[in-house]
């Protein structure tokens, strides 16, 4: 978990990840039929990029403990597309009031373009919170309100978005595993909405709050670049042909969008996605508040088609 808490930092704790992999392999060696050990092994293998071995470990864990909601949830968390949705729904079958399973389903609905379905899942997860039991509060509410805020912002329901994002921010004191990351993301969306509404001072303050928690937050940095008018720098980097990760391509694309070159933004993101392995990379693109994909769906058609295909 030390790695998970630092995964958005400039220097994640990869030593902890290496140690975790060694311990998980040893646990599996001691008892190859122990499903929890297989779940941990599958999770860590996914984090180090060994996806085929991760999937093999996770599916074996499901075979051994198919009625255990924890096993099904870890499998959902580490997979994508139809597998993620199916395993998340199996999690809910055995633990109907576990909201994180709803979050995982929503993450697959978004790249499929099923925004109403995604919001219904999030609303169901939020509705289950007062009745939840059997899961730690620190983990069961991760990103619910952040996603609600994103989805509200997409349909320009900004007051609803602000309320949801305030709820996400209020959870920071719980200190859950992904606290810094979730709250930084919430502040980013708040900043993007303020920028959309023309309040540049509030936007800058929100983007800085995001960076105070995750210094390298690519979208908050993009927001600040937009406010500072650093458009030529973004255009030059986009034209350089330098290979970019999906996250950094999306951030650069956001600046290009605000510079008025939506076609270049979409082309840049498409190249990054095509170079990335199949998976969840870029799943928030259809609802990102700086990209505003819905304003130019024809320009983003190829990007949206690739995201939809990978999430199917």
- For 248-290, what is each residue's pLDDT tens digit? 999 999 999 999 999 999 999 999 999 999 999 999 999 999 9
| Share above pLDDT 70 across residues of the chain, in percent, rounded to a whole number | 92
Per-residue confidence at 152, pLDDT binned at 50, 70, 90?
Answer: very high
- What is the Cα 200 distance to its own chain's centre? 26
Per-residue confidence at 13, pLDDT binned at 50, 70, 90?
Answer: confident
Q: Among 120-134, 204-218, 282-296, where is mean pLDDT lowest?
A: 120-134
The CATH number of the domain covering residues in 1-65: 1.25.40.10
- Asked if the model's pLDDT at residue 11 lies above 90, the reply is no
Per-residue confidence at 139, pLDDT binned at 50, 70, 90?
Answer: low
- Asked if the model's pLDDT at residue 48 lies above 90, the reply is no
Which pLDDT value is given to residue 132?
Answer: 47
Please state, as a whole number, how many other Cβ atoms lie within 10 Å of the Cβ of residue 244. 21
User: Residue 300 and residue 10: Cα distance in Å, rounded?
Assistant: 30
Q: Among 110-119, 190-199, 238-247, 268-277, where is mean pLDDT lowest?
A: 238-247
- Asked if the model's pLDDT at residue 116 lies above 60, the reply is yes
Please state, as a whole number, how many other Cβ atoms lie within 10 Å of the Cβ of residue 93. 12
Measured CA to CA in angstroms, residue 192 lies from 164, 185, 236, 257 at distances of 15, 11, 23, 13
Q: Among 3-17, 69-83, 295-309, where is mean pLDDT lowest?
A: 3-17
pTM of structure: 0.91
The two three-digit tokens of residue 152, written as one number: 């509200």
- What is the Cα 118 distance to its own chain's centre? 14
| Of 106, 67, 109, 114, residue with least CA distance to 90 | 67
Helix (H) / strand (E) element for 223: namely helix 218-228
Per-residue confidence at 133, pLDDT binned at 50, 70, 90?
Answer: very low
Q: What is the mean pLDDT of residues 114-140?
A: 78
Q: What is the mean pLDDT of residues 163-188?
A: 88
- Asked if the model's pLDDT at residue 15 lies above 90, the reply is no
User: Residue 90 and residue 96: Cα distance in Å, rounded?
Assistant: 9
- For 17-46, what is each residue's pLDDT tens digit? 888 889 999 999 999 999 999 999 999 999
Q: Quick check: helix, strand or coil at residue 71? A: helix
Mean pLDDT of the chain: 91
- Asked if the model's pLDDT at residue 229 lies above 80, the reply is yes
Which pLDDT value is given to residue 137?
Answer: 53
Per-residue confidence at 237, pLDDT binned at 50, 70, 90?
Answer: confident
User: Which residue ranges make up each domain of the chain?
Assistant: 1-65, 216-312
Which pLDDT value is given to residue 243?
Answer: 83
């Amino acid at each position: 978990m030390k790695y998970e808490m630092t995964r958005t930092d400039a220097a994640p704790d990869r030593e902890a990840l290496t140690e975790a992999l060694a311990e998980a392999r040893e646990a599996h060696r001691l008892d190859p039929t122990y499903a929890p050990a297989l779940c941990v092994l599958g999770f860590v293998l996914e984090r180090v990029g060994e996806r085929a071995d991760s999937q093999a470990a996770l599916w074996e864990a499901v075979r051994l403990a198919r009625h255990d909601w924890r096993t099904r949830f870890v499998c959902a968390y580490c997979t994508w597309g139809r597998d993620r949705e199916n395993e998340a729904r199996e999690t809910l079958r055995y633990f109907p009031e576990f909201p994180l399973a709803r979050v995982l389903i929503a993450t697959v609905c978004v790249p499929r373009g099923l925004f109403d379905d995604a919001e219904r899942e999030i609303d169901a997860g939020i509705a289950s919170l007062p009745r939840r039991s059997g899961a730690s509060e620190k983990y069961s509410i991760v990103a619910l309100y952040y996603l609600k805020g994103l989805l509200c912002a997409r349909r320009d329901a900004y007051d609803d978005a602000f309320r949801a994002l305030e709820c996400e921010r209020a959870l920071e004191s719980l200190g859950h595993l992904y606290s810094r990351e979730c709250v930084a993301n919430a502040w980013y969306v708040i900043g993007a909405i303020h920028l959309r509404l023309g309040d540049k001072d509030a936007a800058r303050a929100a983007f800085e709050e995001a960076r105070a928690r995750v210094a390298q937050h690519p979208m908050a940095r993009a927001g600040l670049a937009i406010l500072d008018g650093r458009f030529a720098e973004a255009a030059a980097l986009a034209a350089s042909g330098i290979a970019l990760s999906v996250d950094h391509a999306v951030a650069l694309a956001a600046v290009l969008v605000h510079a008025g070159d939506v076609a270049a933004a979409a082309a840049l993101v498409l190249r990054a996605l095509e170079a990335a392995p199949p998976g969840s990379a870029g799943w928030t693109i259809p609802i990102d508040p700086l990209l505003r994909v819905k304003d130019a769906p024809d320009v983003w058609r190829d990007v949206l088609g690739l995201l939809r295909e990978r999430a199917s």
